[in-house]
Amino acid sequence: MSKKHAPLRGFKYYTALESQLLHWVRQKFNQLAEAYNIKIVNPPLLAKTSIFQSLGEASDVVKKELYSFTQRDGEEVCLIPEYTRIFVEQMCYENTFHGTFACFGPCFRYERPQLGRYRSFNQISIESIGSNHYMKDIELFCFLRDFLSAIGITDYKIQINSIGTLDDRKKYEQTLKEYFSKHLHKLSDNSKAKFEKKAFLRMLDSKDEEDLIYINKAPKITDFLCDESMQTFHRIKMKLNELNIQFEENPLLVRGLDYYNDLVFEYNHMNLGSQNALLGGGRYDSLFKSVGGPDVAAVGVGIGVERLIHVLEKNEKLIDRLNQKIHLGIIPIEETEYLYALEIFELLKNKVCIDVLYDKTVSQRLKICNKNMYEYVMLIGETERLNQNVVIKDMRNSTSITVSLTELSNYFNNEKNR
């Protein structure tokens, strides 16, 4: 690998397998989204910086992670760091306030890169808007269950919490402030900085070991919930139990952005480590209104596609199944055989993966086929063209067989089923 051509820090070139998995996950997602009547929307990837700044002073994303710049007309714009906010913008623009929608595409965050954390990554964002009924939250859990099962991910753990209403949170934040102020000198610099910025809830996110001692003993949001939030949370838990969807309650779970209320959740997977959730979401009933839209309730989730891929890469059975394709190299020896090679390509293109090689000497082309581990190679000469047949060489055992053009399609059908 040449350093000179390496991608930017935090960006990556996808391997063939990662690209294949990305495509496969998208296909599976699209199929299920259609069955669930989830409409796919494609918001722009560049937006006004101000719309993300309005997400709240304390939001980490806004603080330091935006890829923002001034465009030629002087407007401050940024690459989107997530879909919910730009999705809300689109729905307000289109006056659409009912239904379930999804976005699938790249997001950009200027984060410190590490395993499973990139500066450019893909998210599936699902947003159910127009109802604050708790059964809409449950529908989302059902979708996630079916989606993860469709792509063969089973070993995940669901954590849920309720962060109540804005009022509940204000009371809780005041208590947290008093609590953390007593221990501030013992906390990490990061936590001290969050305290300075009044991001008391975000202090609960710290993974610093010393911080964790105090975080674990901190007052819990669940003791501050109003009756309605408490009841809603209770109903959600009951329904999840009845549906046999297993979860853990984590009273310290808060979400990155400030616009959430009541239900928040995260799914973790042991292959990703505790800091990297597979997906996360929650209810955001006040966001539409707070950005100048109507009073529209919503619940949504953001799924990290690279994290799904990271888990899927370890699924040997799946990888084997995806790679069960036969590769064929076709080598026309002279220009007079080019069109005959294309005719063969047309015949077989839906059955095997074909690479027609025109350049270089025959032995160099054979070497390329070998290097790429093509299972079959056809050398096409004048004799084959005149006899309307081909000689198929099985590269795995160096045997050859002559097959007529009329039998060719059948031959590969049988090979595929072997």
Return the number of the residue (310 or 393) whose C-beta is nearest ligand AMP: 310
Return the residues of window 203-232 that contact ligand AMP according to CB under 6 A: none
Question: Minimal CA–CA distance to 186: which of 159, 165, 206, 160?
Answer: 206
Binding part of the chain for ligand AMP, among 14-22, 115-123, 212-220, 292-300 by CB under 6 A, reads 115-123
Q: Does 121 bind ligand AMP (CB under 6 A)?
A: yes
Count other Cβ atoms within 10 Å, centred on residue 282.
Answer: 28
Q: Does 43 bind ligand AMP (CB under 6 A)?
A: no
DSSP-assigned letters across all residues of 212-258? HHHHHTS--GGGG--HHHHHHHHHHHHHHHHTT---EE-TT---SST
How far is it, in rounded angstroms, from Cα 80 to Cα 30? Answer: 22
* Phi/psi-derived region of residue 15, left when phi > 0, alpha when psi is between -120 and 50, beta in every other case: beta
Binding part of the chain for ligand AMP, among 97-105, 167-175, 299-307, 369-377 by CB under 6 A, reads 299-307
Tokens of 163: 């962060």
* Phi/psi-derived region of residue 177, left when phi > 0, alpha when psi is between -120 and 50, beta in every other case: alpha
Report in angstroms how near the CB of residue 259 gets to ligand AMP at its nearest.
12
Q: Of 43, 164, 300, 302, which one interacts with ligand AMP (CB under 6 A)?
A: 302
Residue listed under structure tokens 């305290």: 195
Instruction: Give the count of residues interacting with ligand AMP (CB under 6 A).
Output: 17
Return the number of the residue (173 or 205) whose C-beta is nearest ligand AMP: 205
Tokens of 183: 């221990």
Q: Of 173, 258, 306, 337, which one interacts with ligand AMP (CB under 6 A)?
A: 306
Q: Are 337 and 383 in contact (CB under 8 A)?
A: no
Return the number of the residue (308 or 392) whose C-beta is nearest ligand AMP: 308
Q: Does 265 bind ligand AMP (CB under 6 A)?
A: no
Q: Of 24, 32, 111, 415, which one interacts with ligand AMP (CB under 6 A)?
A: 111
Q: Does 283 bind ligand AMP (CB under 6 A)?
A: no
Q: Does 82 bind ligand AMP (CB under 6 A)?
A: yes
Q: Does 268 bind ligand AMP (CB under 6 A)?
A: no
Return the residues of window 309-338 that contact ligand AMP according to CB under 6 A: none
Report in angstroms how near the CB of residue 355 gets to ligand AMP at its nearest.
33
Q: Does 278 bind ligand AMP (CB under 6 A)?
A: yes
CA quadruple 114, 120, 123, 128: dihedral sign: positive
Binding part of the chain for ligand AMP, among 209-217, 272-280, 315-323, 392-400 by CB under 6 A, reads 272-280
How far is it, in rounded angstroms, from Cα 95 to Cα 90? Answer: 8
Q: Does 264 bind ligand AMP (CB under 6 A)?
A: no
- Backbone phi and psi for residue 4, each to the nearest 5 degrees, phi listed first: -55, -35
Return the number of the residue (274 or 398) whose C-beta is nearest ligand AMP: 274
Q: Of 163, 277, 392, 408, which one interacts with ligand AMP (CB under 6 A)?
A: 277
Q: Does 127 bind ligand AMP (CB under 6 A)?
A: no
Rounded to the nearest angstrom, the gap between the alpha carbon of residue 270 and the centroid of all alpha carbons in its chain is 17
How far is it, in rounded angstroms, from Cα 73 to Cα 287? Answer: 29
Q: Residue 164: what residue type?
A: G
- Backbone phi and psi for residue 204, each to the nearest 5 degrees, phi listed first: -70, -15
Instruction: Point out which residues bind ligand AMP (CB under 6 A).
Output: 82, 109, 111, 116-118, 121, 123, 256, 277-280, 302, 304, 306-307
